Amino acid sequence: MTRLFARDAVHLPGRMKKRLFEVGRALGVGLAALFFAVVSAAAADDGGSRHGLSLFGPLNYDADFEHFDYVDPNAPKGGTYSRGLDGTFDNLNPFILKGVPAEGVDQFVFESLLEPSQDEPDAAYGLIARSVTLAPDRRSVTFILNAMARFHDGTPITAADVVFSYETLLKEGNPTFQILYADVVAAEALAPNAVRFRFSTIENRKLPLLVGAMPILSKAYYSKHKFNQTTVEPPLGSGPYRVKSADPGRSVVYERVSNYWAAQLPVRIGRHNFDTIRYDYYRDRTVLVEAFKAGAFNWHEEFTSKTWVTGYDLPEIAEGHIVKESLADNTPSGVQAFFINTRHAKFADRRVRQALDLAFDFEWTNQTMFHEQYKRMASYFENSELAARGLTEADELALLNPFRAKLPAELFNTAFTPAATDGSGEARANLRAAGKLLSEAGLRVAGGKLLEPSTGEPFKLEFLYFEPSFERVIAPYARNLEKLGFVTTLRLVDPAQYENRLKTFDFDLIIQRYVQSLSPGAELRGYFGSAAASQDGSRNLAGIKNGVVDALIETVLGAADRPALIAACRALDRVLLFGHYMVPQWYKGRHDLIYWNKFGRPAKAPLYGLGLDTWWVDQAKEAALSATGKTID
């Protein structure tokens, strides 16, 4: 949802030097809402307009770049990309709390002022904005809009639309926007093509990126359509695709905009090559996989290890009609876990939460169910240099020492490691340790039931999930918990009910995965900040209310350079880990893909993304598939 430009910015400086650090460092790139703040000290000092901005260091692409290095500028247009998803949807407005949004609306239909580069860790270039100026004091950022920028109805995108978008998202949008833009004072239209955002602080260095990543809405359209309500009416956007059709809970289809205004901009050349993109929804993953094999859709990323190893013994693979491959994932894996809802008093004691961790037997699960396809997750920033490893280092200690009295003593002298077993399925040692922690926390067992100390009632645990395949993972974990005296319930609900209970935090334990940017910003307040804990729809699933966490988040936001950012993230990671707010699960650091052999892609892939929007339909391959008599939808 973010874009910028290159060739028509006003008052551009000379060609900028290549970035000073190795692109090949295992950094990772975040979502569009998480990129840049300043180019460099020189860029900030002169206050000149730029074709793009980078958080720490020079831009990789000069002002006159023609296209990203990871695209094929001659990629053909045409054909269909189709994918199956498990779940449902009932809404084509992805920016509000209500409803379940359809996949792809924010990505394909709506655009923002800035566009990220997928081969740089923290850089963005112009799309709706043709140039951007960061004030010398960093108290504001000004965007000059591209005169060509148009909504799909042909009306120009103006500064009034940008201001309207900011004010509407803040007032009526998902509460997450209030967290992201908390340090923005105001958005001002300086001219029909110029807009300025003023900031209340210079400590949040990601603010220019955050506002640059804001989805731009049509003021005229939403003067006639209510914004804060679910809808299946195709919305008006400005992106490379528009919604062609939507059948709630079944499918959503996007068609490429033939007269797309930004098609020839450097950030767009070689991308968005499919004429049609379709997502089909399935309530069961087993049915989804069988539908792929039958040719109901043509591209799939497999997330179930058992299916990946045993579910695709297909002659079409040997014949070359289906491609099965794994591609490296250099982006942070984030965290996938059983999140513990600390809003419930029964989870208030850290020792109780640690006992829950001890009862999960990852090693047995990985061997028995996952064919040893996974590694144990041990960080909120897994698969990145932001992850806290080993003992606390000096730069972290400098940040943590002021809070020593408020933190567990072992944080300072012990490396965090999730509870481990020998993989035999008999986790007796861990369960004994868990029982001891529960006893220390004041819990006792009577009649085989663990009793809550405050009420004397049996300690009940409910696992909430919507995908039946999760049960094979949850059930053995629940049995271990029952050995400790917990009364467990596995609650399977439909996807819509699941989403509603997720947004209102109506659960005890829930499985969720969140991926972090390699340069985190104000979104951390939404994931872990105290204010978000009581805000419906926030991503603070565990309900974390911890003053040390809040302080460290602000330290991350104000980091002056990348080493300072890394140290602050590691310190934050360590505090979160030793808080035992979740039971870490697993990650794999790769994309497991299986697709019908009809696609082409550039010779060079982006460093920090899958680059699917650079693929295309290869007509010769598609013809070869058709010659087999197989119908591939």
End-to-end CA distance of the chain: 28
**Per-residue pLDDT reduced to its tens digit, 89-128:** 999 999 999 999 999 999 999 999 999 999 987 889 999 9
The hierarchical CATH code for the domain 336-587 is 3.10.105.10
Sign, Cα dihedral of 292, 297, 299, 302: negative
C-alpha to C-alpha distance for 531 and 538, rounded to whole angstroms: 10
pLDDT reading at 279 higher than 50: yes
Q: SS3 of 453, please?
A: coil
Taking the CA of residue 537 as centre, how many other CA atoms within 13 Å lie in the half-sphere pointing to its CB?
A: 14
DSSP annotation of 101: B
H-run or E-run covering 20: none
Architecture of the domain defined by 241-328+590-627: 3-Layer(aba) Sandwich (3.40)
Give residue 510's pLDDT: 97
Q: Write the burial class of residue 96 (CB in 10 Å: 0-12 exposed, 13-18 middle, 19+ buried).
A: buried
- Of the pLDDT bands very low, low, confident and very high (cuts 50, 70, 90), residue 14 is very low
Give residue 225's pLDDT: 97
Summarize the confidence of residues 33-62 as an average pLDDT.
Answer: 59
**Per-residue pLDDT reduced to its tens digit, 534-585:** 999 999 999 999 999 999 999 999 998 889 999 999 999 999 999 999 999 9
**Per-residue pLDDT reduced to its tens digit, 215-271:** 999 999 999 999 999 999 999 999 999 999 999 999 999 999 999 999 999 999 999
Write the CA distances from 344 to 231, 351, 544, integer angstroms: 34, 15, 11
In sequence order, the 6+-apart residues with CB closer than 8 A to the CB of 571 are 388, 396, 399, 400, 552, 555
- Of the pLDDT bands very low, low, confident and very high (cuts 50, 70, 90), residue 56 is confident
Express as a percent the part of the chain with pLDDT over 70.
93
Point out which residues pair with 198 in neighbouring strands: 140, 186
Q: SS3 of 272, please?
A: coil
- Of the pLDDT bands very low, low, confident and very high (cuts 50, 70, 90), residue 301 is very high
- Domain-wise residue ranges, the chain: 241-328+590-627, 336-587
Summarize the confidence of residues 347-372 as an average pLDDT.
Answer: 96
Q: If you average pLDDT over every residue of the chain, what do you get? A: 90
On the question of a common fold for 241-328+590-627 and 336-587, the answer reads no
SS3 content of the chain, % helix, strand, coil (to 5): 30, 20, 50
pLDDT reading at 46 higher than 50: no
Summarize the confidence of residues 387-406 as an average pLDDT.
Answer: 96
pLDDT reading at 429 higher than 50: yes
**Per-residue pLDDT reduced to its tens digit, 505-527:** 999 999 999 888 888 989 999 99
Closest CA to 488 of 469, 464, 467, 461: 461
Summarize the confidence of residues 406-430 as an average pLDDT.
Answer: 94
Summarize the confidence of residues 433-443 as an average pLDDT.
Answer: 96
Express as a percent the part of the chain with pLDDT over 90.
82
